[in-house]
Amino acid sequence: MDRREFLKILSATVAGFALFGCRDGLLGDMPVKGARLKLADFENEVKFALSKMKPGMELVRVPMPAALKTPGASQENRFGMAIDLDACDACGKCVLACIQENNIPLSAPERANRGQFMHWIEMCGGAPAMCFHCGDAPCEKVCPTGAANHTPDGVSAMMYKRCTGSRFCGANCPVHARKFNFDDPVASGRSLKFNAGVPVREKGVMEKCSLCLQRLQDARHDFKALHPGESFRGRGVTTACAAACPKNAIIFGNWLDEGSPLVRAAKDRVLYAPKAVASLDPSIVYMRGHR
Amino acid sequence: MKYWMGGIFAVVCAFFLADFLFCQKATPVRVGADAGGPNSIAFLHELHGENIGLDCSHCHTGAASGARAYMPAKADCMDCHRLPLTENPGIEKLDSALAAAPAYPWKHESALPEHVVFHHGVHAAAGVECADCHRGFAGAQPGAKADVYGGENFSMQMCLACHRGETFKQKNFRRAATYCAACHR
């Protein structure tokens, strides 16, 4: 065998293995046939996550979120949440409610032991933290496919079918709110479809808090069908975590609507955001103390 | 040289073949309706719609304001068919067929993938009429299913064309949302 022939065989073999590595299905992820998951499995994972709580984030004062400056942004709606640090006792019910609303899969045991969960809400130093839906979101700027984008009403949305899994967004998120599906949640038997209205994400797709986008969409459509011509202000909509909180510490609403429960709750409170995202115009803020 | 080129070409072809044989196919976006049972009398839209002036949403509840338009149950048919409706001799055959019909004679599953939201009522409220997207039933075969705009070739581009105001120009629809999260989740 001469040098030329050796290189040919080598490159052909490498090309063959590379092509084989691209396969998904045939000899790829084999479906796991185990015991069917129960809600208790997810409850236990939330308890485990609470026992591995991350340290708290440094908070700085922020003003009340205003309308987005980006072209095409709505001047009527900017959806967001305020988390009352005086009321929250880190019970973790919001995490479980989020799992059930958004069909979040269990984390693989070896990843869970390292404290890596798929939960969109995580307890950091005794307070829930999720994607802060920054108005000036750094994750969206680095998405090569446009899968991470902003709605005109202030939700940082993920188009899962567009995501090719570059993970640039996860690397550029200052608070690590994005979670990557390293394996197929369905094929690995770690997901349970609680909510038929939310698709389960596939392997190689980034996911994060969507501010219960599906609830906003459904409410908006129902509203527009019944009140054509009127503008939707998001009244009556709430997120799963806010609805589940026994202390009413998470409040969802429209920052630009004076009558919104969010504005009424946050009006005379001092608002904080993690230092890492405070300059990025977050839609989700913490509130503590009275002014 | 040629031998190796052929070898690599064969390997690539084999992978394409394996992909074709084993890989999951792209989910086609189709909307259709199932016909009734083998012994049923086919439903004739023309007889109910154009003839006696029934509105689509009379039987397809939810079409005017709901998220989806439903298929009628047998009870909905019996609202009218309890009574002898015509002098037509065929009516007895129809009555016995109706008596034997299952409670839910028609089933319809939307073929839209689950990451797409289509709210029927929003489109109706925006002034889109049923026949704009669903073919009229004048002269249609008995038991014909409603055609859906675009049919088998339906794609997101057809949604976008109308939302941008490029199609249905004569109807003067308002421009609709074209940001991703308006329809995708």
Contacts A20 to B, Cβ<8 Å:
15
Q: What is the ipTM of this complex?
A: 0.81
Residue at A242 is within a domain: yes
User: Looking at chain B from residue 21 to 80, which residues have their Cβ under 8 Å from any Cβ of chain A?
Assistant: 22-24, 65-67
Residue A120 inside a domain? The answer is yes
pTM: 0.81
Q: Does residue A148 fall inside a structural domain?
A: yes
**Six token digits for residue B75:** 């009870």
Give B146's pLDDT tier (boundaries 50, 70, 90): confident
Q: What is the pLDDT of residue A104?
A: 96
Residue B70 pLDDT more than 70? yes
Distance CA(B178)–CA(A54), nearest Å, equals 39
Alpha carbon distance A276, B6 (integer Å): 56
The answer to whether residue A12 is domain-embedded is no
A70 falls within a domain: yes
Domain count, chain A: 1
CA distances (Å), B156 to each of A24, A208, B134, in order? Answer: 26, 25, 17
Give the residue-averaged pLDDT of B115-141. 85
Question: Which among B136, B105, B107, B121 is positioned nearest to B69, based on CA atoms?
Answer: B121
Which residues on chain A place their C-beta less than 8 Å from a C-beta of chain B? 8, 12, 15-16, 19-20, 23-26, 146, 149, 151-152, 155, 157, 159-162, 196-199, 210, 213-214, 217-218, 221-222, 224-226, 228
Note whether residue A238 is domain-resident.
Answer: yes
* Orientation angle between helical segments A3-21 and B2-22, nearest 10 degrees: 10
**Would you say residue B25 has pLDDT above 60?**
no
Range of the domain at A224: 56-290
- Number of Cβ within a 10 Å radius of residue A27: 10
Flag whether A118 is in a domain. Answer: yes
Is A23 part of a structural domain of the chain? Answer: no
The CATH number linked to A189 is: 3.30.70.20
Domain residue spans in chain B?
23-35+44-71+108-185, 72-105
